[in-house]
A and B are shown apart, each in its own frame.
Chain A
Amino acid sequence: MNSVQSVRELLEKRRLVFGFIFALTRDVDTAEEVFQDVSVAVLEESVRGSEIDRFLPWVLAVARHRVADYYRRRGRSRPVPEELEATMAHVFEENSESRDQGARRIRGLLDCVDQLPPRQKQILQCRYRDRQPVERVAAAVGWKREAVKVALSKIRKALLDCLRRKDLLEGAEAS
C-alpha cells in the first residue's frame, strides 16, 4: 500500500476509526485528541513508505497503542480493560462500514432524532451538544440522575429501532 492509498484509507475509515477510539475512551474530547495522533501516525508511516498489508487491523492496533500512550502520559490507567479492548477491535474489524454507509447512517440518524419528542431532544442536546455528564443533564431538566439514565437508554433504543427500520444498521437486535 503506498502513501496515497493509506491516507485515502484513513479518510474512508475516518468514522470507524473515531468510533473505535471512542469505544476505548468513552470520552469524545479524548477520542478527538487520540484520533489526531493516529492520523499523524498514518501520515508518518506513509511518508516512511512502510508496507501495510491490511489497513484496518493495522490502524486499529495503532489506535490501541495511542490510547494507551494517552493515558500513560497522564498517569492514568486505561478505562477499558485489555480483554474488552481486543474484543472491540474484533467487533470493529468484523463490522466495518464504508464511508458512504457511514454518511447514510448519519443522514438517517438526523431524521430519527428529528422524530423524537421535544423533551428527549432536550436531553440529547444537553448530553451530546453541550457534552454534559448525566448529573448536569439531570439538573438541567429537573430530573433525578437515574431517571435521565433510563431516558437516555430509551432514546438510544428508539434511535436504533428507527435506524433498523431504515435498514441502516450493521447488526441485528441482540439480547
Chain B
Amino acid sequence: MSRYEALVERYLDGEETPEEAEELSRLVLEDPARAGSLYDAVMLEANLHEIYAGVAAIQDAPRVRSFRLTPRLVAACTIAVFMLAGLAVLLVQGTPAPARLPQPVPAAPQPSAPPTPEAPVRDHGSKREEIEREYRKGLREVERKRLEGKNGESDKKLREIEREREKQLRELQRREADN
C-alpha cells in the first residue's frame, strides 16, 4: 500500500492527524488522478451507507414472522398441555365448595350527578384519534421520502414521529389518570 493509499484509508476512518490531513491535501492537489480516486473512495463510503440504509429500511419494515416448530417449542407446548390437563382433572374431581358468604345488600341506586363545570368531561377518544391521524400522516411522509430514495431521511422521520406519538400517548394517559 502506497503512502497516499494509507493516508486515504486513515482519512476514511477519521483517524488522520492534522499533519497527515495536510499531507493528503498536498498529494491530492499535486495530481489530478489522485483527486479522482479520492472522490471515488469517498463516494464509495457514502454509497455503501446509502444502499445499506435501504436494506435496513426494508428489513426493519413490519412483517409477519415465519413460524418454525423448534424442539424447544415442542417441549414447551407439551409441558403446557400436561399442566392444563392436570388443572382440568383437579377441577373435575373438585375441591369442597366454600361456604357461601352472606352477600352485602346492594345500596339503592343514586341518580348520577351531572358533570360540574369545574371538571369538564374530556374527549380522550377523539384526542387519541387525532394522535393516530397525525402519526398516519407522518407515515405517509415517511413512505413518500422512501419512494424518493431518501432512505436516511425517511428513517429519521419515522423515528421522530414514533417518538412524538409515544410522547403524546403518554401525556394523554397521564391526563386520563388525573381525571
By a beta-carbon cutoff of 8 Å, the part of chain A in contact with chain B is 15-16, 18-19, 22-23, 26-28, 31-32, 35-36, 79-81, 83-84, 86-88, 90-92, 94-95, 97, 105-106, 109-110, 113, 124-125, 128-131, 134, 149, 153, 156, 159-160, 163, 169-175
Given known A-B contacts A95-B35, A174-B34, A87 and B25 have beta carbons under 8 A apart: yes
**DSSP class of B's interface residues: helix, strand, loop or mixed?**
helix
Contact flag A79-B41 (CB < 8 Å), given A32-B156, A129-B52, A172-B33: no
Say whether B51 contacts A113, CB under 8 Å: yes
A88–B45 alpha-carbon span in the complex (Å) = 15
Residues of B within 8 A of A15 (CB): 43, 46-47, 50
Note all chain B residues with C-beta closer than 8 A to A173.
Answer: 37
Question: What number of B residues sit within 8 Å (CB to CB) of A?
Answer: 45
Cβ-neighbour of A159 out of B5, B34, B44 (below 8 A): B44
Question: Of B29, B33, B44, B152, which one neighbours A90 at CB under 8 angstroms?
Answer: B29
Q: Is the CB of A174 within 8 A of B33?
A: yes
Whether the Cβ atoms of B156 and A174 lie closer than 8 Å is no
Interface string of B23-40 (1 = CB under 8 A from A): 011001101111111111
Which A-chain residue is minimally distant from B43 (CB atoms)?
Answer: A19
B84 contacts the other chain (Cβ, under 8 Å)? no
Contact status A170-B39, CB under 8 Å = yes
